[in-house]
Chain A
């Protein structure tokens, strides 16, 4: 309870016409943690993220990011956040480096070029830095997208389904990046529909269902909600994903996936 809250949501509601998407969402995300928002398609995860990133006004309730109200202090919220939306929001006509420089200039960081080069190196994008993003694979785009979100070191990062549509290797790369971020003290709110993703990455997991948070806790706490485990012996079969990764190699040592 000592860490301050990076995100505080209380009684948040939002409807589209007659269709109520959020019916009173309560959630607290502690600073420096990765909090997963888990829910099926259409559960309202993206709506929550859009409200928190000041793109959408809530109908009721309140939400604060880094201590600033998302409605009354939207400008201050924007100073504290970065959004990586569901679809890689990159400029396909510009090169990877130009995309990074663009965001760095808009965030008024000193030495935009230097910041861009450092991020290119950190995300293994140096080799494709001069190519137009239109030629990038989905995984490369996503990596660039996340790199763009880190410019200016915003303390709170929203990742909206960051691995949807990615191949297994790219997915693992994104996971590695997210873990690294949390190591640097960034607060991450991650929405996902993949259970294993939440399990792998998140310090805490909140389940959004029918417009409300129906469960919120660490993985251990969520497991405790179920009846005690019984021990059974089952022959371990490799999953297709494990086979796939074993065949093609998944240590990330060869990130060149240029096409």
Chain B
């Protein structure tokens, strides 16, 4: 049975990767918004923002990476929805293929697509003067956190993909995700925010994740905030996975 899961997932992964290759605009669109934000905040607002370091692009990039993923997973929801509404889902479900393969094919595709978008964003940031003292290990740690974060958001995106009744409903879920980094330490330090806003900013997952990546890029120790970031990512992943699988099981029985 395990070999079936792997084989079927592999076939379906290659199918939806082909979708991406045929419409690379999904990756470009995913990267364009965060890149535009990067340009806007660094070159327009940046001169008025004091974050206590000399390079605002260094400060900003971690948050922009999270926004990239948040907008990228909307396409996963869209691809799942297209299969469900177009009948491909039913055809696959009526065939003797491993049950989890359908979702894993889409989830792994999301990882590939989002990593590609992230590379594009980092390249633009480098061109804008982003510099890091991170060693190989720190880069791998950043990659690990981004993978966990992408997986968590992808499983979350699967849910509207399976349940939405219209295309609008599918994309709607990602707006709060894209907005969340604005009320965190992603753009400005939380110190200057008024009480309740600051409390929210410091207790939501984006802040520890952004701070951890920032420390890793700066070549500094991540401390307890790193564990907190990891805990948020793993916790979100487990909850999103459980909810998505529950939605899926209800859908197929």
Q: Which of B19, B88, B94 contacts A78 (CB 8 A)?
A: B94
- B11, A106: Cβ atoms closer than 8 Å: yes
Complex interface: chain B residues within 8 A of A79 (CB)? 96
Q: Which of A88, A90, A102 contacts B11 (CB 8 A)?
A: A102
Closest to A102 in B: B15
Any A CB within 8 A of the CB of B50: no
Any B CB within 8 A of the CB of A82: yes
Interface centre among B18, B93, B94, B95 (most CB of A within 10 A): B94
- A93, B19: Cβ atoms closer than 8 Å: yes
Any A CB within 8 A of the CB of B5: no
Nearest CB of B to A42, in Å:
19
How far, in angstroms, from A90 to B93 measured CA to CA in the complex? 14
Q: Mark A152-180, 1 if CB is under 8 A from B, else 0.
A: 00000000000000000000000000000
Q: Which of B18, B19, B87 contacts A87 (CB 8 A)?
A: B87
- A94, B15: Cβ atoms closer than 8 Å: yes
How far, in angstroms, from A82 to B19 measured CA to CA in the complex? 25
Any A CB within 8 A of the CB of B90: yes
- B87, A55: Cβ atoms closer than 8 Å: no
Q: Which of B19, B90, B95 contacts A107 (CB 8 A)?
A: B95
Complex interface: chain B residues within 8 A of A103 (CB)? 95
Closest to A85 in B: B87
- B88, A106: Cβ atoms closer than 8 Å: no
Q: Mark A44-63, 1 if CB is under 8 A from B, else 0.
A: 00000010011101000000
Interface residues of B in 1-50 (CB under 8 A from A): 7-8, 11-12, 15, 18-19, 22-23
How far, in angstroms, from A75 to B99 measured CA to CA in the complex? 10
Question: Do A106 and B8 form a contact, CB below 8 Å, given A93-B23, A94-B18?
Answer: yes
Nearest CB of B to A95, in Å:
10
Q: Which of A54, A57, A93, A98 contacts B93 (CB 8 A)?
A: A54
Count of chain B residues with a beta carbon within 8 Å of a chain A beta carbon: 22
Count of chain A residues with a beta carbon within 8 Å of a chain B beta carbon: 30
Nearest CB of B to A56, in Å:
9
- B18, A98: Cβ atoms closer than 8 Å: yes
Any B CB within 8 A of the CB of A89: yes
Q: Mark A124-155, 1 if CB is under 8 A from B, else 0.
A: 00000000100000000000000010000000
- A53, B94: Cβ atoms closer than 8 Å: yes
Question: Do A57 and B253 form a contact, CB below 8 Å, given A93-B18, A93-B23, A106-B97?
Answer: yes
How far, in angstroms, from A98 to B94 measured CA to CA in the complex? 19
How far, in angstroms, from A53 to B94 measured CA to CA in the complex? 6
- B22, A85: Cβ atoms closer than 8 Å: no
Nearest CB of B to A80, in Å:
9
How far, in angstroms, from A74 to B90 measured CA to CA in the complex? 14
How far, in angstroms, from A88 to B91 measured CA to CA in the complex? 10
Any A CB within 8 A of the CB of B86: yes
How far, in angstroms, from A105 to B91 measured CA to CA in the complex? 14
Complex interface: chain A residues within 8 A of B123 (CB)? none
Closest to B252 in A: A55
- B90, A89: Cβ atoms closer than 8 Å: yes
Q: Which of B19, B95, B253 contacts A106 (CB 8 A)?
A: B95
- B15, A87: Cβ atoms closer than 8 Å: no
Complex interface: chain A residues within 8 A of B252 (CB)? 55
Q: Mark B91-118, 1 if CB is under 8 A from A, else 0.
A: 1111111000000000000000000000
Any B CB within 8 A of the CB of A91: yes
Closest to B19 in A: A93
Interface centre among A55, A81, A92, A148 (most CB of B within 10 A): A55
Complex interface: chain B residues within 8 A of A207 (CB)? none
Complex interface: chain B residues within 8 A of A54 (CB)? 93-94
- A55, B94: Cβ atoms closer than 8 Å: yes
- B93, A55: Cβ atoms closer than 8 Å: yes
A–B Cβ pairs within 8 angstroms, 13 of them:
A53-B90, A55-B252, A57-B253, A78-B96, A81-B94, A83-B90, A87-B87, A90-B88, A93-B18, A102-B15, A106-B12, A106-B92, A107-B96
A residues apposed to B, CB below 8 Å: 50, 53-55, 57, 75, 78-79, 81-83, 85-94, 98, 102-103, 105-108, 132, 148
B residues apposed to A, CB below 8 Å: 7-8, 11-12, 15, 18-19, 22-23, 86-88, 90-97, 252-253
Given contacts A87-B86, A148-B91, 10 further A-B contacts (CB under 8 A): A53-B90, A54-B93, A54-B94, A55-B94, A85-B87, A93-B18, A94-B18, A94-B19, A102-B11, A132-B22
Top 5 closest A-B pairs, CB basis? Answer: A89-B87, A89-B91, A83-B94, A53-B94, A78-B96
